[in-house]
A and B are shown apart, each in its own frame.
Chain A
């Protein structure tokens, strides 16, 4: 009897359809929303200064834009690697398909890239005009091109620039939201997958984008300043920490609300989602994403925002919390992208996924793609001085 029962249970559970056995959207598709999220979030940080005039964020106002640009340069890399044939990438621009949600990325990404680049060029124009006068050779030519051959930095000219910067920064906020909300929509729009197909998906993606962007700016700002042996502006970190806490509260609440809604309503696929979260995703979701990398930063941020914390302590723990939140967002992308594919469409079984180190979409390419923006950031710094305490910049700004 028991043998028969086991046989029946074998048929009822763990039935994975052959085309569901392999996870096809692998590490690259985890990185794609992660990188676009960092771009959108970092841009929002710069807009807090440029549009909402939060003065304490001035030290990172330029850095966050260049930081966003460095990641923007690499946002398409995971997709190009995943799809193969990068030489065909521009075809979607040549033959636009208005009904394709996937093709939408081409336009949204390009429009956002144009806006970001022009905003940076206008913000840096007075600096670059001065640097052009001081530089020789290749840098002189580069600054000549980047300032559009104009060396007029009269107050009338700067006033015009300022108006346009304000406009671009203002327009950039909805565009950054569209960029990342769109990425969430791509997943939310896949109705065959019960963990993705929810209107909350774009909202959760957008909020986690802000979390990763602010965390990325805090983490790299403090690390780079320590590396440069320059003082960290504690007031700036304090303001960023407050924003981070606020956004993370919303982000974490929505992440939990989504699960709670499925659970309380016992939605159509709840049995399956329950099996997934308490089965293959238990360690990466409950233990890592929720337990370690959400609750600990949440408590740290609450402590830093609610109590009077000394500057050095704040900078240290804020960096730790930011680093943890960067991991949290990466885990969230993993649990959404990979997790969603571990359920078979049969509704009766789960598959497994173990990334290889050297494969085309393996761990090594993922590391290379995540390190590339930092290398690009280093190179961009050679052209765009990012730090307000930089002798070059302070001398030129006054």
Chain B
């Protein structure tokens, strides 16, 4: 039996109506219940974020087990830098107050890479009076040391100027480091 001349059009219209109804039902049932409570977002998302386990802690959290490094760090120019910035995430090291894993220790060239993450002159957005930036290997040449030197051979990573100030004091050289280490 041949279809009517407009059967397909009727079916297209029916299809669009069904799609619209399904869309409406999907919107009705799939929209999260708390959506729109405070604004154009799912209100429960706030609680979901609050419930997320903490991954990062403060420097004070490291103090209880690492008082020596903490004390040195507090005196130096790096005192505002978070421990986790260089060492890794607290949660990878301690969970529920117990040792959970060893954080990777940077060695050799890795230390240089880590330092240059902030102290590279190529990063233009670093005002000189906030962070000293250097160009490698020019900085090593200027200081008359071998270009293979790693940063921590002269700078203590926690108090970058502590050795340098000490050496200057021994040699009787005065330089304005504002007493910082």
Stretch in B3-11, B92-100, B106-114 with 4+ CB within 8 Å of A: B3-11
Per the 8 Å Cβ criterion, residues 1-52 of A in contact with B are 14-18, 21
Residues of A within 8 A of B7 (CB): 148-150, 152
Q: Are A160 and B9 in contact (CB under 8 A)?
A: yes
Task: Given A18-B125, A160-B5, verify A148-B31 contact (CB < 8 Å).
Answer: no
Residues of A within 8 A of B4 (CB): 150, 152
Beta-carbon nearest neighbor of A98 in chain B: B40
Question: Is A118 interfacial (CB-CB < 8 Å)?
Answer: yes
Per the 8 Å Cβ criterion, residues 23-75 of B in contact with A are 23, 26-27, 30-31, 35-36, 40
Q: Are B40 and A152 in contact (CB under 8 A)?
A: no
Q: Are B3 and A149 in contact (CB under 8 A)?
A: yes
Question: Is B153 interfacial (CB-CB < 8 Å)?
Answer: no
- Distance (whole angstroms) from the CB of B37 to the closest CB of chain A: 12
A146-184: contact bitstring with B at CB < 8 Å (1 yes, 0 no)? 011111101011001100100000000000000000000
Question: Is B143 interfacial (CB-CB < 8 Å)?
Answer: no
Q: Are B31 and A150 in contact (CB under 8 A)?
A: no
Q: Are A148 and B11 in contact (CB under 8 A)?
A: yes
Per the 8 Å Cβ criterion, residues 113-164 of A in contact with B are 114, 118, 121, 125, 147-152, 154, 156-157, 160-161, 164
Q: Are A94 and B6 in contact (CB under 8 A)?
A: no
Q: Are B30 and A94 in contact (CB under 8 A)?
A: yes
Bound Cα distance from A190 to B114, whole angstroms: 36
Question: Which of the residues B8, B123, B124 comes within 8 Å of A148, measured between beta carbons?
Answer: B8
- Distance (whole angstroms) from the CB of B1 to the closest CB of chain A: 10
Bound Cα distance from A137 to B26, whole angstroms: 34
Q: Are A152 and B3 in contact (CB under 8 A)?
A: yes
Best-buried of A14, A17, A99, A152 by chain B (most CB within 10 Å)? A152
Beta-carbon nearest neighbor of A7 in chain B: B128
Question: Is A313 interfacial (CB-CB < 8 Å)?
Answer: no
Per the 8 Å Cβ criterion, residues 105-148 of B in contact with A are 123-125
| Chain B residues close to A by CB (< 8 Å) | 2-9, 11-12, 15-16, 23, 26-27, 30-31, 35-36, 40, 123-125
Beyond A21-B125, A152-B7, 14 extra complex contacts between A and B, CB < 8 Å: A15-B124, A18-B125, A21-B123, A93-B27, A94-B31, A114-B16, A148-B7, A148-B11, A149-B3, A150-B11, A151-B3, A152-B5, A156-B5, A161-B9
